[in-house]
Amino acid sequence: MKKINVVIYGATGSIGKSTLSIISKNLDKINIEGITCNKNILKLLKIAKSYNVKKIGFNEKYIYKLNKFNLNKFEVFSDDSSFHSIVSKKTDVIIFATSGLSSLDLLLKILKSGKIVGIANKECIITLGKKFINLSKKYKTKIIPLDSEHNSIYHLLRQNLGKYKSITITATGGPFLNYTKKKLSYVTPQQATKHPVWKMGSKISIDSATMMNKALEIIEAKYLFNLKNDEINAIIHPQAIIHALVNYENGISTALLNKPDMRIPLSSLFFEFNKYSNVYRGIELTNYSNFEFIPIDKNKFPAVELGYQVMKIGGLAPHIFNYLNEILVNLFIKRKIKFLDIVKLNELNIDKFFGKNSNISDPKLSDIKNINYWIDNNLYLGN
Ligand code: NDP
Ligand code: MG
């Protein structure tokens, strides 16, 4: 049987780790063609050796110049602008699991590959907006969403039950679900990166704590599934067993139940839906007599409401919201701003932007780059 050839962008991260965990149990079926990271070269080399990977890429050029790593055994791609060449004729599946917006140019090239692309990175989807699906359709690139909620929706919609009324995604509520607003104002980056359910990279963990992650996921769902703003909503479900519901006109909602384990959505890249490997333990419903579904407290977690405002404005607004969040999360990690400022300053900076600039309904990549430059130079951080 021909092996599935896979390229993993962001192999040293949390999604990369879950992907490798699947591959390690299916070495007879899956071959890793190439892997990349930003700068974690030691981890990348370890993966390359363990999985006999020939092509490696890293984004920080200085690594190549250090000359102390034994790189001549590999085909080396020494910055992000060359990463698209890792994909070859024989590549079957590409996993796009870098974090943040830095790999936007790479994604644009990958969307033209005509391959199967598993996408974990929500930030790039939001910034590309409608272009994301339009480009993938134009170049016959098959998109499989890997974010757990969106992967659930993807499978639910494949049931082809006809027109639906709306889609609901769930949120765990993050580490601060039961904190008071006052207590939230003192939380540290260390506390914010400790997620109660998922073990993820630091940016997405902080996004989960502010519930920015859910706001971003609502926008992600809008673009992935071509939804109107009032067709997508979110609720809190701390047990994280139901990740999404599709709600039909006749009052029926469909959902999938699965444990919060990223290997489940990731498996759909390699195996048919009901052919996942049996390493995943099933759901014992009697262990879940405490299933909860709670509305999101807009006062404590204003991010979701701001996300809707941003969708309503449209044009550049979703990108600006997304880009500002990345900047503000970094400032919070460096302890330059407080936890509650992440969302508050986002809103103030959006207002500032639209006070001084007009919107662009269908922004080009060059517009996005100009806007980033403007934001970098006009960022308001309060007094
Ligand atoms: P991590 O921070 O754990 O990993 C990020 C990966 O991207 C690392 O391999 C990192 O390399 C690489 N990377 C970062 N910046 C660059 C760059 N400029 N150029 C090239 N590579 C880069 O993140 P996660 O795995 O948690 O998340 C990845 C994406 O998936 C995010 O967009 C997140 O929102 C999404 N996602 C993640 C989930 C999860 O469970 N983790 C769930 C749902 C979505 P290095 O190690 O060298 O820094
Ligand atoms: Mg998610």
**Ligand positioned closest to the Cα atom of 59:** 1
Asked whether 201 lines ligand 1 (CB < 6 A), one says yes
DSSP annotation of 102 reads T
- State how far the Cα of 110 lies from the Cα of 326, in Å rounded to an integer: 23
Average pLDDT (248-264) is 95
CA 201 / ligand 2 centre spacing (Å): 12
Residue closest by Cα to atom 36 of ligand 1? 120
Average pLDDT (91-111) is 97
User: Which pLDDT score is estimated for 273?
Assistant: 81
Asked whether 29 lines ligand 1 (CB < 6 A), one says no
Question: pLDDT category, 10, cuts 50, 70, 90?
Answer: very high
Asked whether 57 lines ligand 1 (CB < 6 A), one says no
User: Which pLDDT score is estimated for 1?
Assistant: 81
Query: Which ligand 1 atom is nearest residue 121's CA?
Result: 32
Average pLDDT (313-334) is 98
Instruction: Report CA 211 to chain centroid distance, whole Å.
Output: 14
Domains of the chain: 4-145 (3.40.50.720), 151-378 (1.10.1740.10)
Average pLDDT (88-117) is 97
Please provide the average confidence, as pLDDT, over all residues in the chain: 95
Asked whether 13 lines ligand 1 (CB < 6 A), one says yes
Residue closest by Cα to atom 48 of ligand 1? 38
User: Which pLDDT score is estimated for 278?
Assistant: 62
Q: What is this structure's pTM? A: 0.97
**Ligand positioned closest to the Cα atom of 264:** 1
Q: Are 310 and 219 in contact (CB under 8 A)?
A: yes
Given a cut of 90, whether residue 185 has pLDDT beyond it is yes
Average pLDDT (5-22) is 97
Query: Which ligand 1 atom is nearest residue 198's CA?
Result: 40
Given a cut of 90, whether residue 159 has pLDDT beyond it is yes
User: Which pLDDT score is estimated for 196?
Assistant: 86
Distances from the Cα of 314 to the Cα of 33, 76, 222, 294, 360, angstroms: 39, 40, 12, 28, 9
Residue closest by Cα to atom 16 of ligand 1? 38
Distances from the Cα of 79 to the Cα of 91, 149, 166, 304, 363, angstroms: 20, 32, 42, 35, 26
Question: pLDDT category, 67, cuts 50, 70, 90?
Answer: low
